[in-house]
Amino acid sequence: MTTIKDIAKVAGVSITTVSRALNGYSDVNEKTRQKIIEIAKQLNYSPNTLARGLVMNKSKTIGLLVSGLTRESAKDNFTFEVLAGVNQYVSEVDYDMVLFSTTSTKQREKTYTQLCRERRVDGAILQGIRSDDPYLQEVVESDIPCVLIDIPIESETVGYVTTDNVLGAKKAVEHLISLGHKNIAMINGYSYAFVSEQRLKGFKEALLEAGLPIHEEWIADGEFREDNAEREALRLLTNYPHITAFFCASDLMALGVIKAAKRLGKRIPDDVAIIGYDDIILASYATPPLSTIAQNKFAMGYEAAKLLIHMLEGKATSHVKILETELKIRESTVKNYD
Amino acid sequence: MTTIKDIAKVAGVSITTVSRALNGYSDVNEKTRQKIIEIAKQLNYSPNTLARGLVMNKSKTIGLLVSGLTRESAKDNFTFEVLAGVNQYVSEVDYDMVLFSTTSTKQREKTYTQLCRERRVDGAILQGIRSDDPYLQEVVESDIPCVLIDIPIESETVGYVTTDNVLGAKKAVEHLISLGHKNIAMINGYSYAFVSEQRLKGFKEALLEAGLPIHEEWIADGEFREDNAEREALRLLTNYPHITAFFCASDLMALGVIKAAKRLGKRIPDDVAIIGYDDIILASYATPPLSTIAQNKFAMGYEAAKLLIHMLEGKATSHVKILETELKIRESTVKNYD
DNA sequence: TTGAAAGCGCTAACAT
DNA sequence: ATGTTAGCGCTTTCAA
């Protein structure tokens, strides 16, 4: 593998000059530079980023820490789209991305912080980490710059990108209310997700503002899982037949609710209307197609990467980015909608 | 950031001893080792993998080269599942994975080979690369060990994992034939995908073996795209009303065919039966649920990583891994199947 | 405009 | 069992 030393030898200059020439410094004779560049090309030279990173003390690499990168999690393509967005920005600015997942056995042995420090990543993006994850605390308190997705923590070295989940939930519930629904249940995700809290808040606010009562017993925990949501919806629909609509904190759970409704022979949306959250790909392919609050997951990843790298380069004016959500009306709430 | 030098100073030994102690060499006094480990812990030491990689000339990092990591490609969660599988194995053996995607602008400036060499990855896995990609040739001919997914190239440094696509296609078509279909069309992917060739071959073999004629004009190119497949199916069904079944080289295209059939008022599977390939998540959620040839994409990633790392460590007996596929019968071919 | 020398943090001969 | 030394490939003072 060619090194700048080899180039220096061939060019008859010092390695310093080669380094300067290749890095575009101005204090090098233009002819010398051309010659060096030419030789580098001929010798098929590639800079060794390990060596460069060692001396410069930065690697131009960011870590993407995700949890639960399993076979099952593919259904909910959230993580994947975020990843694609991160990747997009990162490669635009010539950084690289290394993926740290915590599904593995490794997760218990090494903390996120250790992973980041060993690989000398310049910063990290955290996605899908539960807010009660002990390692979250650790990495946030470390000196590693990081950007969190959907966890609102802010400090000198920490920023986040999220959407307005209270507003999103309100939009969903107001949509149901505008359709005449008065008896609306909610299937929420687990409580250690920040978004769950927020969506619950939005749910209640919407009811309150419409002068509707809040039935705490109509709020169930589906843990963001399709099967749990199905079970909970089955229970609610059986025990409280007055319920005519469901707001679910995720599309996957909404799919579970659809199954439950079908099993009970209920027509959707006539007997029971269902709205989800996220706009995963399955949503538009479901039967009936699922109304939902769409989040631009790709954009979340893209913006997270952008924010992080701006922070790294000291040109971030704010550490927070809030993205918009959009109400998508489909046939799980409105018949023959098109 | 603590270095072994710091530890050496505190422990009153040389840095060599620290290095040896921390790396589990036997020629170091057990007491000394314990002391060093203790100090390392106290000082919150993390090894610098850049420095280690520089001197050892290996980074314990592999590159995952994918193409088309876009918002749209999320539908076909193939890449994502492969990635999850790669990640799983890689983290089991304490390697890291860096993701190189070629969607970006960067793709035209730097070749895969350059990307790999700059980051000093020990090896690479290539997924979703077209067989006519000029850079594919380059990386395969380089000295970088690599494992290809679904491209059968083998050499000293190159291996691959794939499934038996001829057999898979045959299984699909034989299934249709067993249902009594005689007029079977095929929507294939683009020709510069190895799998397309193979699946076409399997398609023809199955027909031949059943004594059925091959109508070349019933074979269309859907370029692996849903919309193209829909258009082609529309055309075929209109021009050749005898057709009663479709074999599609991907599920995404099969979904397009379903749309086309519906638009023409055809009942599925009564008027036209449809079978896909891949078993993407959407398949089971489609209306009707899609019969398909399932590939274990997670396993493909996992096995690719395993093969690559075995190759790197010189303990690969073979450079090829062929995985099984499975016929999944759903309602797009058999009514009320359950 | 160029070069010499030091050093980033680590491993690995080669002593001792 | 431990230390000395050299060096991985690169950037960066400092001098010339």
DSSP annotation string for B116-127 = HHHTT-SEEEEE
Contact, B185 vs B245, CB < 8 A? yes
d(CA B94, CA A104) in angstroms, rounded, equals 10
Ramachandran area for residue B331 (φ above 0: left; ψ -120 to 50: alpha; else beta) = alpha
pLDDT-based confidence at residue B105 (cuts at 50, 70, 90)? very low
pLDDT-based confidence at residue B102 (cuts at 50, 70, 90)? confident
What pLDDT sits at residue A56? 97
Mean pLDDT for chain B? Answer: 94
Per-residue pLDDT tens over the stretch A235-259: 999 999 999 999 999 999 999 999 9
Per-residue pLDDT tens over the stretch B34-61: 999 999 999 999 999 999 999 999 999 9
CA→C1' distance for B96 and D9 (Å): 22
Superfamily assignment of A61-163+297-324 in CATH?
A: Response regulator (3.40.50.2300)
Per-residue pLDDT tens over the stretch B14-35: 999 999 999 999 889 999 999 9
Residue A104 clears pLDDT 50, i.e. is over it: no
Per-residue pLDDT tens over the stretch B293-321: 999 999 999 999 999 999 999 999 999 99
Cβ contacts of B91 on chain A, cutoff 8 Å? 100-101, 103-106
What pLDDT sits at residue A108? 54
Q: Is A256 exposed, middle or buried (0-12, 13-18, 19+ CB in 10 A)?
A: buried
Nearest to B95 by CA among B124, B70, B66: B124
Mean pLDDT, residues A170-190: 97
Per-residue pLDDT tens over the stretch A118-171: 999 999 999 998 888 888 889 999 999 999 999 999 999 999 999 999 999 999
Per-residue pLDDT tens over the stretch B151-179: 999 999 999 999 999 999 999 999 999 99
CA→C1' distance for A102 and D1 (Å): 39
d(CA B309, CA B312) in angstroms, rounded, equals 5
Smallest Cβ distance to B75: which of A101, A103, A281? A281
Which residue is nearest nucleotide D1, judged by alpha carbon to C1' distance? Answer: B28
Domain with CATH 3.40.50.2300 in chain B: 61-163+297-324, 165-295
Q: A114 and chain B: CB distance < 8 Å anywhere?
A: yes
Mean pLDDT, residues B276-304: 96
Residue B75 clears pLDDT 80, i.e. is over it: no
Smallest Cβ distance to B282: which of A50, A96, A281? A281
Smallest Cβ distance to B46: which of A84, A88, A118? A118
Mean pLDDT for chain A? Answer: 94
Which residue is nearest nucleotide C1, judged by alpha carbon to C1' distance? Answer: A28
Strands (E), A153-230: 158-163, 184-188, 219-221
Residue A317 clears pLDDT 90, i.e. is over it: yes
Contact, A71 vs A123, CB < 8 A? no
Nucleotide nearest to A54 (CA to C1'): C8
Tell me which chain A residue has its CA closest to the CA of residue B75: A281
What pLDDT sits at residue B336? 79
What pLDDT sits at residue B71? 67
| CB half-sphere exposure, B327, CA atoms < 13 A | 17
Q: Which nucleotides of C are covered by protein (CB under 7 A)?
A: 1-5, 7-13
Residue A105 clears pLDDT 70, i.e. is over it: no
Tell me which chain A residue has its CA closest to the CA of residue B117: A46
Mean pLDDT, residues A21-37: 94
Residue B247 has φ and ψ, to the nearest 5°, of -110, 125
Q: A68 and chain B: CB distance < 8 Å anywhere?
A: no
What pLDDT sits at residue A312? 96
- When comparing pLDDT for B108 and B154, which is higher? B154
Cis amide prior to A288 (ω within 30 degrees): yes
What CATH number is given for A165-295 in this structure?
Answer: 3.40.50.2300
What pLDDT sits at residue A87? 93
Mean pLDDT, residues A318-325: 98
pLDDT-based confidence at residue B76 (cuts at 50, 70, 90)? confident
- Looking at residue A335, its amino acid is K
Smallest Cβ distance to B47: which of A46, A61, A118? A118
Residue A111 clears pLDDT 90, i.e. is over it: no
Domain with CATH 1.10.260.40 in chain A: 4-55
Per-residue pLDDT tens over the stretch B135-148: 898 999 999 999 99
Segment 162-181 of chain A within 8 Å of chain B by CB = none
Q: A231 and chain B: CB distance < 8 Å anywhere?
A: no
Question: Nearest CA of chain B to the CA of A72: how many Å?
Answer: 9
Distances (CA, A) of A54 to A1, A48, A143, A246, B207: 18, 10, 18, 55, 61
Overall fold of domain A4-55: 434 Repressor (Amino-terminal Domain) (1.10.260)
Nearest to A123 by CA among A84, A93, A163: A93
Residue B106 clears pLDDT 60, i.e. is over it: no
Q: B183 and chain A: CB distance < 8 Å anywhere?
A: no
Residue A281 clears pLDDT 60, i.e. is over it: yes
pTM, two decimals, is 0.94
Residue A107 clears pLDDT 60, i.e. is over it: no
Instruction: Provide the angle, in degrees to the nearest 10, between the axes of the packed helices A165-178 and A194-209.
Output: 40
Tokens at A177, concatenated? 């209310």
